[in-house]
Amino acid sequence: KRMYELLCRRGSLMELCEHCLELTDNPLCLASSDLRILAYGEHQNKSAELKMFFEKDIGEYLTDEEIDAFRLDNDYLRGIAARSPCILNNDYFGFRHFYNNIYIDDIYMARMVICEVERPIRPGDYAVLLRICDFFKIALENMDIVLNNHPKNFDRLVNRMLRQESIPDEEMDKTL
């Protein structure tokens, strides 16, 4: 119910992530397809040394070392095209990533990652992650943010052009 309320009042991605902590009991992160941290949720009662995310991380790209760890991981590379939840075992991070990619208009836009550090991933978490991603997909569709380094609706507009649909000039001007 709280997730619906947050969507209705256009709550921030951070608020949505923080609420999701009640569902996951593990830190989670929403990352864009270009590896920028869009939001995170993490229990605040941790010391700074144990925290995984910080407010300054929002909008920032992962570090070069983190990107290299992913770039060299074949499971990560295969997971980019995944359409269902996956688990990534990556020695660089020291914990498993339980993630699901979020597609909008058939375009990979973001990834919700649950970091398996507080408790083990359980079978029921599969359904929880899918539901969380449903909410974040709606939130991303309704927010005025740039993803994939494109203005909002750019990819949708290009797809319509490729289907040879008629697009009013004012819509083209607004998007481009």
Q: What angle do CA 128, 138, 86 make, to 5 degrees?
A: 40
Note the pLDDT of residue 149.
58
pTM (whole model) above 0.75? yes
pLDDT in tens, 93-121: 889 999 999 998 888 899 999 999 999 99
Note the pLDDT of residue 144.
65
Note the pLDDT of residue 91.
76
pLDDT in tens, 28-72: 999 998 888 999 999 888 887 888 898 998 988 888 888 888 888
Note the pLDDT of residue 150.
58
HEC profile for 36-75? Answer: EEEEEECCCCCCHHHCCCCHHHCCCECCHHHHHHHHCCHH
